[in-house]
């Protein structure tokens, strides 16, 4: 969402337009920070879901192995 230009000033690219973050009103900067936090949280929870899925698959594989030689009814 934000990048730095040559002068080391943060630039916001939003909907195809670029804005110098330092020139934006404070309430707009707060919105940008909020979006950055939301993006970080989404990434964290996405990674957590991936780990849970891997764990669930591992448990299913272990159960499959344990049940392999047990007769079902």
Question: Residue 72 falls within a domain, yes or no?
Answer: no
Domain range for 45 = 25-67
- Measured CA to CA, the distance from residue 43 to residue 45 in angstroms comes to 6
Question: Residue 59 falls within a domain, yes or no?
Answer: yes
**pTM for this prediction:** 0.69
Instruction: Please give the pLDDT value at position 62.
Output: 97
Average pLDDT over residues 3-21: 86
Distances (CA, A) of 31 to 19, 37, 43: 14, 10, 18
Question: Residue 54 falls within a domain, yes or no?
Answer: yes
Question: Residue 29 falls within a domain, yes or no?
Answer: yes
Q: How confident is the prediction for the chain on average, in pLDDT?
A: 93
Number of domains in the chain: 1
Supply 57's token pair. Answer: 């698959």
Instruction: Please give the pLDDT value at position 2.
Output: 64
Supply 4's token pair. Answer: 């730095």
Helical spans, DSSP H, in 1-73? 26-67
Residues 36-49: tens digit of each pLDDT: 999 999 999 999 99
């Amino acid at each position: 969402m934000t990048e730095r230009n040559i002068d080391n000033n943060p630039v916001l690219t939003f909907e195809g337009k670029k804005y110098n973050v330092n020139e934006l009103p404070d309430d707009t900067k707060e919105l940008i920070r909020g979006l950055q936090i939301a993006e970080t949280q989404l990434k964290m929870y996405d990674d957590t879901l991936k780990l849970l899925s891997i764990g669930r698959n591992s448990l299913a594989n272990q159960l499959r192995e344990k049940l392999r030689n047990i007769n079902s009814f």
